[in-house]
A and B are shown apart, each in its own frame.
Chain A
């Protein structure tokens, strides 16, 4: 594997491989000294054109636990047009010895462009526009598996009913998760008002519902998406209050969930909008486990890209 740009690049086998390998890195992370020398001498560059401290820190922690060196390049999106071009930036950082780029950008597709200019360095998509966020989907799948195993349930995702609720249209998390959950055999239902769904779902392995109550009662995993506050100004929902009333996981609505149903959220949460505060702290809400597993999943991805392959020709 050279790059991780889309969940589609991995396929079912690739996802399984990452999740299997993640177990080893969860163990590494639990050691008194949670660091292995696997990527000594490698340099991982965070190329972040969008503020996302959590994702950046998660990747950088992963790189450091693998003993890679890290460099950080962050640009506020407002200064993109004034500064040097993306290509010049990539070529400059490559010349400084970057072995991998973790790319976060507000525009869909930028990681593909970086991969074209990276001159042999690996590229990890750390989130591109509304398009994809593959490591988030991997950590979500891992979290579901592990949380189910810990509860004595069958950890396999095959046949699980997953509801992805909220602003799918503008969500890179939703796009990657649909691909990942479906690749592992889960049955995915998108729950949102039509204004927050992509305009054309041809080819998506999903069902669509506008009725959260009915869907909740029969799902094993409910995945809540972050509701951007500005959506009400774009006439996509009349108000956040109405959104919460119809699509929020309120305390009352959470009682419809099966006892062993898991609640996930990619963070940061808008408590009181898409998720009630007491639901977020419910034992079956595995939101902090998602964060913890994120580091291990990203270790697995970086190790697969930079360490595992070796030089087969040598």
Chain B
């Protein structure tokens, strides 16, 4: 889950305490390479593809995917970033604040947008992202790549590319970072 959401999502604050490493750095790297291959295969190359990382957790993964394309195909794809705070459906229900400025480097009309996020959970962030994208144009297709799908969907949203399917309890937390993926929970009353 993105840093921002860990800080503010219910139960509002607390500290992430890792219990188990579910992917190490090598597993993470291999998953990125595999997803890059899947994207290439699915789209018959990189023509018209743009990677859009969701702020904040999806942005570094989008950059790593772009680097993988350079290594595999020697091709550069545009990388954007999208902050969906202003499109969320829970504004007014919990504190929501844009964390970073959205950056879409190329027009989206006719493009193949691959949304990249670290963890897919309820699907609400992706719903907001799909909404936000439409303000930039009409892509030919939108695909979704996530490092971890932890289940518990609340909307009919399905990823196209998954690093790892990870069964979780609702109250658990998944933390994706450079060195791997941890499963744990938020502990309240502990100061970060």
* A and B co-occur in one complex: yes
Interface string of B63-91 (1 = CB under 8 A from A): 00000000000000000000101110011
**Is A181 an interface residue, CB under 8 A from the partner?**
no
Complex-state Cα separation, A66 to B87, whole angstroms: 10
The size class of the interface chain A forms with chain B is 20 to 34
Q: Which of A1-58 contact B (CB under 8 A)?
A: 21, 23-24, 26-28, 31-39
B92, closest chain A residue (CB): A310
By the criterion CB–CB under 8 Å, are B12 and A38 in contact?
Answer: no
**Is B190 an interface residue, CB under 8 A from the partner?**
no
By the criterion CB–CB under 8 Å, are A303 and B95 in contact?
Answer: no
Which of B37-45, B96-104, B146-154, B181-189 faces chain A?
Answer: B96-104
A307, closest chain B residue (CB): B91
Complex-state Cα separation, A171 to B72, whole angstroms: 63
Shortest Cβ gap from B127 to chain A (Å): 12
Complex-state Cα separation, A26 to B131, whole angstroms: 19
**Is B137 an interface residue, CB under 8 A from the partner?**
yes
**Is B94 an interface residue, CB under 8 A from the partner?**
yes
**Is A75 an interface residue, CB under 8 A from the partner?**
no
Shortest Cβ gap from A19 to chain B (Å): 13
| Given A24-B101, A37-B131, CB of A32 within 8 Å of CB of B86 | no
Q: Which of B85-144 contact A (CB under 8 A)?
A: 85-87, 90-98, 100-103, 131-132, 134-137
Shortest Cβ gap from B102 to chain A (Å): 5
Question: Which of A23, A35, A38 touches B91 (beta carbons < 8 Å)?
Answer: A38
By the criterion CB–CB under 8 Å, are A310 and B135 in contact?
Answer: no
Complex-state Cα separation, A36 to B135, whole angstroms: 8
Residues on the A chain within 8 Å of B100, using CB: 24
By the criterion CB–CB under 8 Å, are A303 and B93 in contact?
Answer: no
Shortest Cβ gap from A87 to chain B (Å): 28
Q: Which of A76-90 contact B (CB under 8 A)?
A: none
Shortest Cβ gap from A302 to chain B (Å): 12
Complex-state Cα separation, A272 to B113, whole angstroms: 53
Complex-state Cα separation, A306 to B136, whole angstroms: 25
A39, closest chain B residue (CB): B91
By the criterion CB–CB under 8 Å, are B101 and A311 in contact?
Answer: no
By the criterion CB–CB under 8 Å, are A310 and B136 in contact?
Answer: no
Complex-state Cα separation, A34 to B132, whole angstroms: 11
By the criterion CB–CB under 8 Å, are A21 and B136 in contact?
Answer: no
**Is A309 an interface residue, CB under 8 A from the partner?**
yes
Q: Which of A125-181 contact B (CB under 8 A)?
A: none
Residues on the B chain within 8 Å of A309, using CB: 95
Complex-state Cα separation, A4 to B167, whole angstroms: 46
By the criterion CB–CB under 8 Å, are A308 and B96 in contact?
Answer: yes
**Is A314 an interface residue, CB under 8 A from the partner?**
yes
Complex-state Cα separation, A34 to B134, whole angstroms: 11
Complex-state Cα separation, A36 to B85, whole angstroms: 10
Complex-state Cα separation, A309 to B97, whole angstroms: 8
Residues on the B chain within 8 Å of A308, using CB: 91, 95-97
**Is A312 an interface residue, CB under 8 A from the partner?**
yes
By the criterion CB–CB under 8 Å, are B94 and A310 in contact?
Answer: yes
By the criterion CB–CB under 8 Å, are A303 and B86 in contact?
Answer: yes
Residues on the A chain within 8 Å of B94, using CB: 310-312, 314
B128, closest chain A residue (CB): A37
Shortest Cβ gap from A213 to chain B (Å): 41
By the criterion CB–CB under 8 Å, are A312 and B96 in contact?
Answer: no
By the criterion CB–CB under 8 Å, are A314 and B135 in contact?
Answer: no
By the criterion CB–CB under 8 Å, are A310 and B102 in contact?
Answer: no
B88, closest chain A residue (CB): A38
Residues on the A chain within 8 Å of B134, using CB: 33
By the criterion CB–CB under 8 Å, are B87 and A32 in contact?
Answer: no
Shortest Cβ gap from A13 to chain B (Å): 14
A314, closest chain B residue (CB): B93
Question: Which of A24, A32, A38 touches B137 (beta carbons < 8 Å)?
Answer: A32
A24, closest chain B residue (CB): B98
By the criterion CB–CB under 8 Å, are A21 and B86 in contact?
Answer: no
By the criterion CB–CB under 8 Å, are B135 and A21 in contact?
Answer: no
Question: Which of A23, A37, A66, A311 touches B93 (beta carbons < 8 Å)?
Answer: A311
Q: Could you show 8 A-B contacts with beta carbons less than 8 Å apart?
A: A21-B97, A26-B101, A27-B101, A28-B86, A37-B131, A38-B86, A307-B91, A310-B92
A28-B86, A310-B94 given; name 10 further pairs at CB < 8 Å: A21-B98, A27-B103, A32-B136, A34-B135, A35-B135, A37-B131, A310-B96, A312-B94, A312-B95, A314-B93
